[in-house]
Structures are given as C-alpha cells and as structure tokens.
Chain A
Amino acid sequence: MSSRAQVYFIALILIIAGLGLTFYKAHEMDFPLAKGESRQVWTVESVVKFKANKEASGDPVKVSLTLPSQQTGITLLDEQFTSNGYGLTTEVENNVRRVVWSTREAVGPQRLYYKLQLTHDGQQQAERLPEPIAEPESGLSKDETIAAQAILDMAYQQSSDTDRLVRRIIQIIETKDIPEVDFLLKQNLATKSKPKLVKSILALNGTDATMVRGIYLEDGHRRLPPTEILAVFIDNDWHLYNFGSERDTTLDNFLIWQIGGESLLDVEGGYDSDVRFSIISNLMSAQKVAIWNTLNADGSESDFTIFSLPIEQQSIFKLILLIPLGALVVVFLRVIIGVKTSGTFMPVLIALSFIETSLTTGLPVFLTIVIVGLLIRSYLSKINLLLVARVAAIVVIVVGLMGLISITSFKLGIEQGLMVTFFPMIILAWTIERMSIIWEEEGPKDVLVQGSGSLLVAIACYFVMTSEAVKYLAFNFPELHLATLGFIFILGQYNGYRLSELFRFAQVAKSEDSWNMPESKTPNATKSGDA
C-alpha cells in the first residue's frame, strides 16, 4: 500500500508543479493562457552555409550578410548572431546594415546563424523604394545586349503598355520561348537570377527596375531561399512582379531584407555559399512583447526555454511536445476503456502521420497500403523467411506501394495521394507484419478488432493533438507536461474495471441475479464484500 501512496504523492507533486508553473508563467510573466489575447511574434532564422576553401586553411574567410532594417508595419524586437568562433562586426553603409563574420580558422563546411524576432501589424507598404534612375544601365556585354534586345522586341510587339511588357518578358523567360533566353540565363549563371535578367532587359527599354529581396512571413516554412521580387518603375509608381508564383505581388506580409544591391550574401574564401530562411510564429502577450522590446538584447544568455533554440528545432518541438499527450490518450484508452490495439504506441506514430497528411486523406491512404500490404504479406508467409528478413521485405514492398500510390494519384490528378510519403515506412511495415501475425495466430476477427482499435486510438490521438488549444498550451507551456506525467502515474495505478470488462463480465453478473450463487454461502464472500 505504501508504494501506491508513494506513486500518488509523486503524481500529486508533479501535477501541482506543472499547474503551478503554468499559473506562474501566465500571471507573473504574462504568457497568455489562450491564443488570441496575445500578439504574434515572428521569429526568422537565416542560416548561411558555405564550404571554406580547403587547402587554404589559414587563409581569411569573410562572410557578409545584409540585415533587414526597421520598416513600416514591422517592428524588429530582437536579433541574435551565432558565430562559432568567428569575429563578428555589424556595419551600416548607405543606410544598409550588414553583418560581417571573419576568421582564419575555417576548414570544411561552415554554418552561421542570424535570428530575428519581429512583430507585424499588416500595414506594410513599398514606400521605401528608392528614387528611380532616369537612364538605367543594363550592364550587359555586346552579345548579351543583342540577345536581350531580341527578347525586348518580341515582348514589345506583343504588348500594349509597360505593365504588359514586363509580364510578357517574364513569361518569355519562364517558358524559354526563344533560344536567346537560354543563352542569357547561361551568361547570367553566376547570379542565377531571372529577376536580374528582366531588370537588364528593361534597362534597354529605358525603364528602371530594382530587386526587393526578403521573405513572406508564413508560419512553419523551413529552409526557404530568399524571395526575389522585381519592382519596376512605371508611370511614376513602383509596380511589383513575382517569379514562379501566381499570387498577387504585394509587400503585405513581406519582410524586406534588401532593396536593390548586388546580392544578399558575399563570401570571400569559400564556395557553394547559400542562405536559407526558416520562419516560425509564436504568440506572446502584448505586454511581454513590450518588455522584450525595451530590454531588447539583454538576458538572452539566461533564456533557458524552447524559444532559445534554433527555429528549425523549435518547429520540430512543436510536434514533439504533442507526443506526451498522445501517450496519455493511449494510456487512458487502454486502461480505462480497454481498447485492444496492436502495438502499444504505434497509434501515436500513426496519428503523427495523420497530422502531416490531414485525417481525410491520411486514413484512406493508410488503409490502402495496409490492406494491399497484408495481401502481399499473406504470400510471404507461404515461403518461409526469418522474421527480420520478412519485415525487411515488407519495407521494400511498402516503398513500392508508396511510389505506386504517388504516381497513380498524381496521374489521376488527386494530389492528396502524394501525401503518402509522410507515413513512416518502418511503422507501416511493422503494422502489416503484426496484423498478419495476428491473422495467422488468432484469425481475421482479431485483426479487425485490433486493427480498428488501433485506428480508433490513432484518430483519438489525432483529434487531441490537432486541437488548437492543446497545440498552443503544449508548446507555450511545456511545464504542463509535468502534470501529464502525474496523470500517467495515476492511470498506471488504476486497478478498477475497464469499460470493456463491464461488457465482458456482464453475463456473470446476470447469472448472479437469477442463480443465487451457492458460492455466496462461503464465509470469505461476506467478509471481503465489505472491504
């Protein structure tokens, strides 16, 4: 009995600690308990990757990255640099901020991080674009000018005004209608920039254009290259054009990183350089944002929360922090309800895949793979294979099925079928293997019972893990998981009946009424009946 008391004691402490910390965080640190009463804070992380010139170790490496400045509608709250032993300076030149990392020690692949927090009130305007140049320079060589002129002429004939001209030029470049495009793109290979090519072509027409580099603020994007928007000066106004996107080109929701200029990133002493952006949004109370805004760079060393992690890891944690709740659901359904599942925590993993694919597409795809897999597996059991080899064979078959489903659905125009790749293959293979063993050992009825049990639990986990409130609390108040742990402890000590057992033993209970058991005469029955 004392061990049980111990468990309850620990569980109680965990629950009190979890709820207490949450309460403290909500009231003393002004973290809002619900979404809504808060401001959205965007965290943008840029990763600079390059390879240092190998043989030249000891040679200086200098990396220079343009930084965004304060702009209308966007408030920059805080920024952090991770420099891994590099010397770090920031400099301002022509109102453009740049960070410069430098070292003599770099060998092999290098990574540098710059992280930025900002709030955005949706009133972004393009008013910061520079004064246009009356006679812009194309910067093209003689051969290139001829090719560019050919494109311009073609576009000019097929358009009525400057706006249409620009659209037509973009179209010609995108579709590569005439061979000159390929030639020019090859010449332009160093920058690989189509917008830049358009800018040069327009210069021949005497129209000024400039490039706006930055990123759209959209939650959960990872490792995106910078978006390049072309701004063209037409009729005393800047018009915006976007490549490779159907969307209306506006600067709403756009964090401008750089206007004009040659490039975002310059690396000396390295090659294969690349800059990528990850974006995540979290919610913080307006007050917290205000405090942060005033304190700014202070105290980031002592910040021991998930928010101090790189953003890529943060978005992974958004998912990971849901898993304890999935586990709690599994324990509840197993211990209190008595749902039979195949594999204890497999349903949580299936639910995680459903989160990626959404339930409506994930469920049919999952069922298709498992059913087809079972059919093929039934043949495998005729030829005797060792277990490991058999599961490995199923993994290969699952890969094949995934490819088949992707291709078939793509050809049929059902894009949801492509989601199949979100299912972890090993999980699928094990599900099939287990189901098939149950089929052989206990018959199809048990496959149905345990299979639908697993799916039921997976769907329950899915609904818990996709609930907005749960997602918000799990990520912003990870200390709540102490309480989750406490509840799991308590459930682990539950020795009462499962709901399913009320059905299972119903017949015995019924017989008690009609038969008036002879057993009840035994002394022990009355004795322990009181207990």
Chain B
Amino acid sequence: MITSPLTLKRMGIMGMNQRNVDYIARYNDRRYYPLVDDKLKTKHAAIKAGISVPTLIGKVSHQFEIKPALERLKQLNQFVVKPAQGSGGKGILVITGREGDYFLKPSGEHISLMDVQRHISNTLSGLYSLGGRNDVAMVEELVNFDPRFNDYSYQGVPDIRVIIFKGFPVMAMMRCSTESSDGKANLHQGAVGVGLSIATGKSLFAVQNDRLITHHPDTNKSFEELDIPHWETILTLSASCFEMTHLGYLGADIVLDNELGPLILEVNARPGLAIQIANQIGLKHRLETIEAMEHPEMSVADRVQWSRDHWS
C-alpha cells in the first residue's frame, strides 16, 4: 500500500525530514537537551516548576553508595529503580511487594537483595544507558496506576504522550502495550496507539501495526469507551513543560497515579511521528496554525483552553 506525497501534503502529515529540519532544528535549542535527556535533571526542574512527578526516594551515583542504599531499600515495600539516562524503557526495575527477604516483581517473580544490588551496579556502569555512559540510578516511589486502565494494557503500563508546540498541546495519544509488543509501549513494535481528542480526552481511533482496531487484542476491551480522567490537568502539566524545558517542540509522557493524579514521567526532545497514525490526522496544519499566531505568549491555562477550543 502506497500513497502519493500530494495526498500526504494535503492532509498535513509531517515527515521525518520536515520534523528534523523545520521543527526540531528550529525550535529546540541543543543546549536544553541535557535537561530532558537526564531524568534526574528533568525531575528537579519539574519540582522547581511545580509540575507533578513521581516522588524521588533517593539516588545512587557511585558503586560505594550501593551498600547503604540497600539498607534503606530493605525497609521499603514498593519502589522503582531506573537509570537517569536510560533509553527505551530499559533497566527499569519495579518492586511491588515483599515476601520475607525477597522482593516481588509485578510478574510475581521473586528476586533477592543480591539481584537488586547487581541491577543497581549494572545501571551505574551504563548497561542500560545510551552509549553505555556511566549513569545514576534513581529510586522512585511506585506509581499506583489508575485501575480504570488495567484492561487497556497487557503487562506494561499505559502512558499518555502529548505533543506540545510552543507551549500549546497539539496532539495526544495513549500507548498501550500488548503481548506482541512484549509489554513495551513502542508503536512500531506492536503496541496500540489510541488517538485522544485534545478537547475532551476521549478516544478517536486505535491503531496497531498501522491498522485500525476497535478492541485491545489481548484483553478485548473496547477502546471506544476510553475517556481519560483529569484531562484538563494532563494538558496543563504537559503544556507547562514548555516553560520548564525551553523546548519549542516536545513530547511529554504522562502516567496517571491513583492518588496523585497525572504525573510527568519524562520529556522527549525528539518525539516520534506515529502519533499522526493514531490520530488519523497530520500534525502539520495544527503546527502551522500556531506558527501563524501573532501573539502566542499566553498563560498555560489560556494555551490549554485555546487548544481545546480549536481541536476536537
């Protein structure tokens, strides 16, 4: 199946070259990248800006800090260990409970304190990080996912990606892992992308492997009923990432905590284009509308309202 470039242009579908040349190169200053590439820095900046993030319990920067850290981890029932500069969700260790001396993973697997120690040691030596650089292990509080989403995801955690351009939310989707995506929320590996209405947070389309679907392939839950709660907060959180990161074109990844509400997981300076497939619409027209605005300097709330008024 092939289509003509004219059709894509008319629909405003944005290609990789255009994203790189016209948006990322133009609106994202390279000196702001380190802030988003290091999750620890992102977290500190977010806290400073009053943006909700999963609570940081502690960090381990050097091998000699592992032993004392383990003493503390022994007192916890639930926590998450992740590399600050991890890529593609690698190296995230989730502990959901304890059984005697053992730690429990979400799959029910038991691991020992030694396993946790090795995991942290590997993280520090860069096993999970881009380019194998030495890294820092972050220990965070476990996000308790909103149970309403349980049926929308197989094993993994559904997260919400919002594209923010010059501070305006322009497009959103939810990414649900499936059995064929191996619990990963990566669309090109078989995860489901659900396009979300900017105005309402309700689902528009669901796509898996570039095909429209109506039900989750593993849980058989219909996507039509999907209605994201706290939608206003989600948009506000993502839109305020603009002031926090100074990036003109960014993707904010959000999870919903049962008690804390929406939390920013990470910010991406080079968000992918698959969101257009999930929404069955191109980004280009929306981006151009914002580029054509004479006075884009508005408060976060005004920007969110503006986007919700303009885009279904």
- A502-B3, A507-B210, A522-B311 as given contacts; A495 in contact with B280, CB under 8 Å: no
**Across the interface, do B16 and A386 meet the contact criterion of CB distance under 8 Å?**
no
A498: B residues at CB distance < 8 A: 15-17
Please tell me if A411 contacts chain B, counting CB pairs below 8 Å. Answer: no
The CA of A443 and the CA of B182, in the complex, are separated in Å by: 10
Q: Which of B85-125 contact A (CB under 8 A)?
A: 87-88, 90, 118, 122, 125
Q: What is the bound-complex CA distance between A497 and B9, given in angstroms? A: 9
Q: Complex Cα distance A508/B3, Å?
A: 9
Q: Are A527 and B289 in contact (CB under 8 A)?
A: yes
Contact between chains at B312 and A522 (CB < 8 Å): yes
**Interface core residue of B11, B90, B282 (most chain A CB under 10 Å):** B11
- At the interface, yes or no: B47 with Cβ under 8 Å from chain A? no
A491-531 Cβ-contact flags toward B at 8 Å (1 or 0) = 01111111001111111111110010111001011011101
Asked if B226 is at the interface of the complex by the 8 Å CB criterion, the answer is no
CB contact list, B1-47 vs A, under 8 A? 1-5, 7-13, 15-18, 20-22
A502 touches B288 (CB 8 A): no
Q: How far is the CA of A386 from the CA of B122 in the complex (A)?
A: 9
Q: In the docked arrangement, what's the CA distance between A512 and B4, Å?
A: 13
CA distance A494 to B19 in the complex (A): 11
> Contact partner of A505 among B212, B276, B286, B288, CB < 8 A?
B276
Give the distance to chain A from B1, nearest Cβ to Cβ, in Å.
4
A509:B7 contact, CB within 8 angstroms: yes
B132 within 8 A of A: yes
Cβ of B155 under 8 Å from chain A: no
Pick the most buried of A493, A527, A529: most chain B CB atoms within 10 A of its CB.
A529
| CA gap between A492 and B280 in the complex, in Å | 28
Does the CB pair B310–A528 fall under 8 Å? no
Asked whether B15 lies within 8 Å of A384 as measured between CB atoms, the reply is no
When distances are taken between beta carbons in the complex, the residues of chain B under 8 Å from A451 are none
Cβ–Cβ contact A497 & B21, under 8 A: no
Is B277 within 8 A of A505, CB to CB?
yes
Q: Which residue of A lies closest to B22 (CB)?
A: A495
Query: In the bound complex, what is the Cα–Cα distance between A499 and B275 (angstroms)?
Result: 19
| Interface presence of A324 (CB below 8 A) | no
Contact A496 B18 (CB under 8 A): yes
Say whether, besides A497-B5, A501-B8, A528-B289, A519 and B281 are in contact (CB < 8 Å).
yes
B295 nearest CB across to chain A (Å) = 17
Complex-state Cα separation, A401 to B127, whole angstroms: 26
Query: A387 at the A/B interface (Cβ < 8 Å)?
Result: yes
Nearest CB in chain B: distance from A228 CB, A: 56
Across-interface contacts of A508 in B (CB, < 8 A): 11, 13, 276-277, 280-282
Interface flag for B284 (CB, 8 Å): yes
| B103 → A minimal CB distance (Å) | 19
Contact B311 A503 (CB under 8 A): no
Considering the complex, give the chain A residue whose CB is closest to the CB of B89.
Answer: A441
| B61 interface contact, C-beta 8 A | no
Docked Cα-Cα span, A25 to B153, in Å, equals 67
Given contacts A384-B122, A515-B280, contact A497 B310 (CB under 8 A): no
**B21 pairs with A505, CB closer than 8 A:** no
Q: Chain A nearest CB: distance from B294 CB in Å?
A: 14
Contacts A501-B15, A501-B16, A502-B8; A524 near B310 (Cβ below 8 A) = yes
Output the nearest chain B residue to A517 by Cβ-Cβ distance: B281
B87 nearest in chain A by CB position: A441
Beta-carbon nearest neighbor of B125 in chain A? A386
Task: Tell me how far the C-beta of B201 lies from the nearest C-beta in chain A, rounded to whole angstroms.
Answer: 16
Verify A495–B17 contact, CB threshold 8 A. yes
Residues of chain B within 8 A of A338, CB atoms compared: 16
A509 to B9, CA, bound (A): 10
Say if the beta carbon of B211 comes within 8 Å of chain A.
Answer: yes
Chain B, Cβ-Cβ closest to A529: B10
What are the residues of chain A within 8 A of B276 when measuring CB–CB?
505, 508
Whether a CB of chain B sits under 8 angstroms from the CB of A303 is no
Q: Give Cα distance in the complex from A496 to B286, angstroms.
A: 17
Q: Closest residue to A507 on the B side, CB-wise?
A: B210
Q: Are B189 and A517 neighbours in the complex by a CB distance under 8 Å?
A: no
Complex partner residue of B15 from A388, A495, A507, A525, CB under 8 angstroms: A495
19 more contacts with CB within 8 A, not counting A508-B11, A518-B312, A529-B10, are A384-B127, A386-B125, A443-B189, A504-B277, A506-B1, A507-B211, A508-B13, A509-B3, A509-B7, A509-B11, A510-B3, A511-B280, A512-B7, A517-B281, A522-B285, A522-B310, A527-B289, A528-B12, A528-B288
* Sampled A-B contacts (19; CB under 8 Å): A384-B118, A384-B122, A384-B125, A495-B21, A498-B17, A504-B277, A508-B276, A508-B280, A509-B4, A509-B7, A510-B3, A511-B212, A517-B280, A517-B281, A522-B285, A522-B310, A524-B289, A525-B12, A529-B10
Binding site for B on A (CB under 8 A): 335, 338, 384, 386-388, 441-443, 492-498, 501-512, 515, 517-519, 522, 524-525, 527-529, 531
Closest 3 CB pairs of A and B: A387-B132, A509-B3, A524-B289
